[in-house]
Amino acid sequence: MPQMTFVEQDGTERTVDAPLGLSVLEIAHKHGVDLEGACEGSLACATCHVIVDPSWAPKLSEPTDDEEDMLDLAFGLEKTSRLGCQIVMTEGLDGLVVRLPRTV
């Protein structure tokens, strides 16, 4: 099974099983990672904002215009910021690393 790593606000790295077809948001919830997702993945908020490790960012599909619009509402945006609900685990993302922003 693929795995991914969450880097929590305090810098703690947490590597978890990441079932294929689940979003980063769903994987976080499955493992008790503190990633809110207030709209439950319907692309109506930015509370699942994550920062993708720069080495992984090119491997993701480009964000949609709707995702970009929601990201404009997030605090602490960085060049590789994405919404966790829009990143779906595939074999090619085995080992993915995302960081939770320090402020939400």
Which of these, 91, 93, 72, 92, lies nearest to 83 by C-alpha position? 72
**Do 84 and 28 form a contact (C-beta atoms < 8 A)?**
yes
Full-model pTM: 0.95
Burial class (CB in 10 A: 0-12, 13-18, 19+), 43: middle
At 7-21, the pLDDT tens digits run 999 999 999 999 999
At 23-74, the pLDDT tens digits run 999 999 999 999 999 999 999 999 999 999 999 999 999 999 999 999 999 9
Q: How far apart are CA 46 and CA 65, in angstroms?
A: 14
